[in-house]
Structure 1
Amino acid sequence: MKKTAGKAKRPAVVEHEHGRYLIKAGQLKDTIVARAFPKPPSKFRHLVAEETGKSTDDAIARLIDKLDGLRADRRTSRRTDPSLATGIPTSEEYADALRSYTTGPKLLGILHDHALLRQRGMVLSELAKAGEFATSQDLLNAYEKLGSDIYKLIEPEGTLTAALPVVVQLPDNGVLDASDVVILQPELQDALLQLLGTNRRPR
């Protein structure tokens, strides 16, 4: 007689999207666990947060509450800056957004180099040349687009009047000239060096 009894199947893994996160929930040993990761097309498989629950739905709901709580806590920890009404994002917010954002190698390379300069910064025209941008304005345009994209990930319901301050520190007049020394926001520096390391990568 053939055996009809077999091992009980584990509950299938349930996937749920929440903002820029992909949540996966299922049974891990004797526990129902929900975990949040950056949503594709992000190349990072970084675990953002996790929660347990009585069921997959319960674990997912608890995890969403945790993610929303983390977001609220980070908002209150932001540094104030007159050029950005919502405050400068924390290094954790920058890192989280960068994990969910696909940056071209050219822009990523100059961002890494720029971050390694820390508060010394570099003259804008020299920075553009080092990054192989045709003009200083081309680099600023790339930084502005990056700032807009990062802001949308961090504050999807927010309104942004100028995106450049998300990436760099601006002078009092709000205008950067080719001869000005440009410095990345310190929190963005920290996030980039956390993700890319403190050694310059070969081009």
Structure 2
Amino acid sequence: MAQPSSSSRVAAGHSLFDRMGKKQKKTDRAPAPAQTILVGAHGRYQVKSGWLAGGFVARAFPKPPARARGMIAEATGATEEAAIAALHDVIDAREAQRTKGRRADPQTGLGIPSVEEYVEAVGQVTLSRPQTAMLTALCLAGEDGLTDARIARAAGYKSEASANRSLAAAGLLIAEYLSVDTRARDDADTPDGAALLGFRTAGELEGETGRRILHPEVCHALRMAL
């Protein structure tokens, strides 16, 4: 068998070192810098913006901590600032359209939010276990409604007054999140916040407190969110 010449061995050695040098260059190359995501807020939403897929994008999400997930709105722009400004316009237009589309409750005069709004609010606000229990019981009762005594028992309250205050507080949380002015109501006997959740029927006897019934929008939203 012919032995390789010294010149061929030298050439092979150079080739080996050349390949090693090329591999070393790849290893030493610095990683690409990570994309910077700016985080801000607009109203009740968290805004995230940055460079994505060849353009500046701004997106709105529920503010943490929230059980709700998913993107609320999106906008693009020639610059990051333009994308953020465009997103603000989208959110403002969305809120104005929602407010305009709310039905007026004949008993209280309040603008009742849509099912979509209630679903979003329930996913964002923090309701206590008793509040959730009362809303669930009212939802299951449907159009028949519940007396104050049964609502209190559903949440483990010994006092009907305590249950009413807690239910009204739940309504205020939702009203604040959805920017509903509960002072617009006409029924002065209904605690603030409770009117946004439902209404009372007339008592069967004179002087008797009627049953409480959830607005259909609230009931549908609870079935979807809880």
State TM-score, norm by structure 1. Answer: 0.80
- Partner of residue 195, structure 2: 165
- Report 1:4-83 matches (<5 A): 6=30, 8-83=32-107
Query: Whose Rg is larger?
Result: 2
Gap change, CA 1:172 and 1:9, over 3 Å in 2: farther
Q: In structure 1, what is the Cα distance between the partners aligned to 2:208 and 2:75?
A: 49
Identity %: 31
Q: In structure 2, what is the Cα distance between the partners aligned to 1:46 and 1:120?
A: 35
Displacement of 1:183: 0.8
- Partner of residue 89, structure 1: 113
Count, aligned residues: 192
Unaligned runs of 5+ in 1: 197-203
1:111 correspondence with 2:111: no
1:183 correspondence with 2:213: yes
- Partner of residue 200, structure 1: none
On the 8 A contact 2:75/2:86 being kept in 1, the answer is yes
- CA displacement, residues 91-149 of structure 1 (integer Å, 9 cap, x when unaligned): 22222222221112231133123223322222221121122111222221111111222
Q: In structure 1, what is the Cα distance between the partners aligned to 2:154 and 2:208?
A: 13
Q: In structure 1, what is the Cα distance between the partners aligned to 2:202 and 2:78?
A: 54
Q: In structure 2, what is the Cα distance between the partners aligned to 1:84 and 1:13?
A: 45
- Report 1:144-163 matches (<5 A): 144-155=168-179, 158=181, 160=183, 162-163=192-193
State TM-score, norm by structure 2. Answer: 0.73
Unaligned runs of 5+ in 2: 1-23, 185-191
Extract structure 1 runs of 4+ deviating beyond 6 A. Answer: none
Gap change, CA 1:6 and 1:134, over 3 Å in 2: same
Letter in 1 for 2:210: D
- Partner of residue 136, structure 1: 160
- Which of 1 and 2 has higher RCO (CA within 8 Å, sep 6+)? 1
